[in-house]
Amino acid sequence: MTDMELLELAAKAAGIKLLQWVDKWDGDCPAFAGYQMTDGEPWNPLADDGDALRLAVKLAIDVYFFVDQQAKFPWVGTSSGPPDFNSPTLGRDQALGEYPEADTRRAIVACAAEIGRKMP
């Protein structure tokens, strides 16, 4: 799945209306690539910590970290209790790499996209 598809499904899950993809933003975010929301604001939770956090909060996505002897894995999902790290979950198959913040944002967006994919 492409980044654009992930973002579109995540936006659907969160009820965010997107206007158009912008490759290079004019104004405050010159290096920004992402969607323009209908209110004119940029939106890309794959690249922006604030957008990712707002997405996680809006969809009640839990974010934990599972640490084994070799790596740290983001665990994201929606649950009412503590995570079951032995069950397959979104994000657990991809260990945090050189850019853990980006990997965590991606896990949040992937979880949101899965929610959006299941919506009618």
**C-alpha span between 59 and 15 (Å, rounded):** 10
Question: Is the model's pLDDT at 7 over the cut of 80?
Answer: yes
- pLDDT confidence of residue 88: 46
Mean pLDDT value across the chain: 80
CB neighbourhood size of 12 (10 A):
17
Q: What is the pTM of this model?
A: 0.81
Inter-residue contact 59 to 78 (CB < 8 Å): yes
With beta carbons less than 8 A apart as the criterion, state whether 47 and 19 touch: no
Q: What is the mean pLDDT of residues 36-48?
A: 86
Cα 10 from Cα 117, distance rounded (Å)? 8
Contacts of 86 (CB under 8 A, 6+ apart): none
Instruction: Tell me the torsion sign for CA atoms 29, 60, 6, 101.
Output: positive
SS3 at position 37: strand
Domain ranges of the chain: 3-117
Instruction: For residues 91-99, give the mean pLDDT.
Output: 68
